[in-house]
Amino acid sequence: MAYSRKDARRAKKKFEKPIMISWRPLRLCENFIVCFNDGSTTAFGFAQIRYRCRLTYYIIMKSKALKPEEHYITEEPYYQPIGDEIRVFESAYKQQLPVLLKGPTGCGKTRFMEHMAWRLKRPLITVSCHDDLTASDLVGRFLITSGETTWIDGPLASAVRHGAICYLDEIVEARKDTTVVIHPLADDRRILPMEKVGELLEATPEFCLAISYNPGYQSVMKDLKQSTRQRFVALEFDYPEADLEAEIVMKEAAIDASTATQLVKFAHMTRDLKGSGLDEGASTRLLVHAAKLMHDDINPVVACQTAIAQAITDDHDMLVAMNELSSSLF
């Protein structure tokens, strides 16, 4: 069944406003499950047209403007410093310098950003970067509302305009033509060119740009260019020392010191296997997951198997070996 442009415009009236009509090539299919920004989903038949001999579909999406005031962190997130990272970040914020966080997965980079946003009393707008992230996803786009075209700021533009902290998580996952958007914001200009509306948005003094990546996941195709990284003050993160990591696990999962210590020992065993069967060892985040299961009376060996071993590898031999390691400790 074919649909017309008129059918698409008629269909958009079913949805609440504001809505956006955009189009992009998709695989041949008449119906899609659409996931809206508010988390709801619906099945919808899209208008199918032929344009320059390419099959195109109209995509109907609900959208709403980002409200920075909703991103304030009111309660203090638990964070245990492992060095001078808090002092350095506060100094960088005061001097209006962008910050780069680098470290292995699950070592506390995101929690650190939440803690600093609470400490500085600024809203935190987090963007999880991915391969399909475009400059428009960060800066903003035009939406059709009540028959009129309206500009809606993206998360980056909204953070710049309202003096929020914008945190681009795993920046190397984004396309290189997307990451260059942050260059004017990451030097002494502190501006965001918005070409679609002809606006040169100047950052407020309260605005802060922070990005993060995992050096262990870098490759030739996914690397942070020198032209990008040399604009930032860099903070290196790693897993805490054993005693401190055990304290963190105890605090996060409310378990006893003995169990936390054994969990940390297990984590160090897995980290020693990095490059010898494992790409990554157990992160502090995974230790907390396992500890929470133990707190709920899950057998420690089962907790280690499900929350740690199965999460970091699918190799059968490695799973057996890690199961034996956990059995020797619990």
Same domain for 306 and 262? yes
Task: From 236, 258, 290, give the residue that closes a domain.
Answer: 236
Task: From 236, 263, 278, give the residue that closes a domain.
Answer: 236
Same domain for 99 and 192? yes
Please tell me the total count of domains within the chain.
Answer: 3
Same domain for 9 and 121? no
Task: From 35, 62, 89, give the residue that closes a domain.
Answer: 62
Same domain for 85 and 28? no
User: What does the pLDDT read at residue 85?
Assistant: 96
Same domain for 169 and 39? no
User: What does the pLDDT read at residue 116?
Assistant: 97
Same domain for 301 and 252? yes
Same domain for 210 and 158? yes
Same domain for 285 and 323? yes
Could you list the mean pLDDT of each consecutive 10-residue stretch along the chain, which spans 330 residues? 48 43 35 38 36 33 61 94 95 97 94 97 95 91 80 93 95 89 94 90 95 77 84 96 96 95 95 88 96 96 96 93 92
Tokens describing residue 64? 């709403």
User: What does the pLDDT read at residue 49?
Assistant: 31
Same domain for 228 and 249? no
User: What does the pLDDT read at residue 232?
Assistant: 97
pTM, two decimals, is: 0.78
Residues of the domain holding 173: 68-236
User: What does the pLDDT read at residue 221?
Assistant: 57
